[in-house]
Structure 1
Amino acid sequence: MIIDDEETLLLAIKKYLITQGFKVIVCNSGRAALSRLNKEKIDLIIIDVLMSDINGYDLVKQLKTRPNIGHIPFIFLTAKGMTEDRIKGYKMGCKAYLGKPFDPEELVAIIDNVLCDRKNIQNILNIKSEIKEIRDSIYKFDQLNEYKKFTRREITILLAVSNGLSNKDIAHNLNISIRNVENYITRLLHKTNSTNRIKLANYRYLLHKGE
């Protein structure tokens, strides 16, 4: 997206970028851009600093308050090219600060670099997502193996203990003696390396959470 209130330059940049294979959306004001950005999928924004309705700096501040579009990279394109202006732009996070007049080929080179970086970041995020899926699969497998060391009755009692039931309540619900419940809990303490009932209950919680 290109945002510039200088209509002639706006259309000239659009025409050139289209010849270079880019899909281009143009807006002749900051307010129009804010409305359009909520409706379009934008990979990069080129913003003129000196616009009549909203200057480029204030526009970027507004963009950054919107989670759905605040992450979009942007380039400042302006005749205002003093060192302090460029520093201000870079501090706001701009990827480049290109002064007017400019070489169109330089603009294309900057755009290519920004989009390449964006693609690399997305690839990294995809890899991280795949790693998480693999870890989740491994955890589920490990969790299944962990549960295999218990009998069905032991799992039932482990769940009951983790839910805060007393030995008497467990015995009543399972129609077994309190002595049998105590024996099961002793075996569970041994199998889980737990030293008391609280740690036994916590074992089931940690197993469920994968910690």
Structure 2
Amino acid sequence: MQEETKNMSDTEPTKLLLVDDEPSLREAVEAYLEDEGFIVKVASNADEGWEFMEQETPDLVITDIMMPRVDGYQFLEKLRDDPRYKGLPVILLTAKGMTSDRIKGHNAGCDAYLSKPFDPDELVAIVKNLLSRRETVNNTSENNTDLGAIAQQIAEIKTLLGQQGNFKTTPSPIKIDLTPREQSILNLVAEGLMNKEIARRLETSVRNVEKYVSRLFSKTGTNSRTELVRFALKHGLTDIG
């Protein structure tokens, strides 16, 4: 039993999505990122990239701009228009280096812009920085929440749980596949536990819990724990009952 708990607390590797229509560059970048310990999924165009997004939400997206049919700007705009991916870090890769192109990329909502040819070490540094920044924002957000606000969130969640009989469970309009780890954390959030309490319960780090809660927000298109629990109850995603 103790060993089973330990296995459950192992940190899941960071998943990246790489979208580029140049096979040689795609393969080289994929191999380099995998050597750095990332799990990398690849797509040769934006449509393939979107299909992957619908199946599994990555922790970060790296996409080329100059691609056939749907370019990187359009792909980025599509991501930002979907509430599930609004906060997802996105890096744009392009042969373009003009200031106007960079401005267009940032206006579209990219988090970083890297011109080809580039040093793969620089790409790795940007990836790690964006992921670290995202975790820091999530951590700061919770740490800066005063006790009154925390109590309010827990009270709202417990009120939702008390009203479960009034929730009409409906099929989710979005196919949501949760990993066992995501499911266990969703259940604990639905119990009204905060990240530190969940970390203690699962014998893992607070940062790891934050990572999974952030993924749950992305997968469900919610922005707070209360919204997440309401969504989970309505669509039958939690085992609490």
TM-score interval, normalised by the smaller of the two chains: 0.5 to 0.7
Q: Which residue of 2 aligns with 1:40?
A: 56
Secondary structure in 1 matching 2:40: coil
Query: Which 5+ residue runs of structure 1 have no aligned equivalent?
Result: 140-211
Query: Which 5+ residue runs of structure 2 have no aligned equivalent?
Result: 1-16, 156-241
Match of 1:72 among 71, 76, 88: 88
Contact 1:37 1:69 in 2 (8 A): no
RMSD: 2.4
Contact 1:76 1:98 in 2 (8 A): yes
CA-CA distance at 1:124 after TM superposition: 2.6
AA aligned opposite 1:15: A
Give the structure-2-normalised TM-score. Answer: 0.53
Shift of the 74–137 alpha-carbon distance from structure 1 to 2, 3 Å rule, reads closer
- Paired residue total: 140
Match of 1:21 among 37, 46, 55: 37
Give the structure-1-normalised TM-score. Answer: 0.61
Contact 2:34 2:40 in 1 (8 A): yes
CA-CA distance at 1:50 after TM superposition: 0.2
CA distance in 1, matches of 2:153, 2:90: 38
Q: Which residue of 2 aligns with 1:118?
A: 134
CA distance in 2, matches of 1:96, 1:120: 17
Superposed, 1:163-178 pairs within 5 Å as none
AA aligned opposite 2:34: I
Secondary structure in 2 matching 1:70: coil
Shift of the 42–128 alpha-carbon distance from structure 1 to 2, 3 Å rule, reads farther
Identity of aligned residues (%): 40
Note the alpha carbon deviations across 1:73-115, whole angstroms, 9 max, x for none: 1011010111110111122221211111100011111111100
CA distance in 1, matches of 2:140, 2:109: 21
Note the alpha carbon deviations across 1:119-174, whole angstroms, 9 max, x for none: 111213433668456433998xxxxxxxxxxxxxxxxxxxxxxxxxxxxxxxxxxx
Contact 1:38 1:69 in 2 (8 A): no
For the pair shown, the structure with the greater C-alpha radius of gyration is: 1
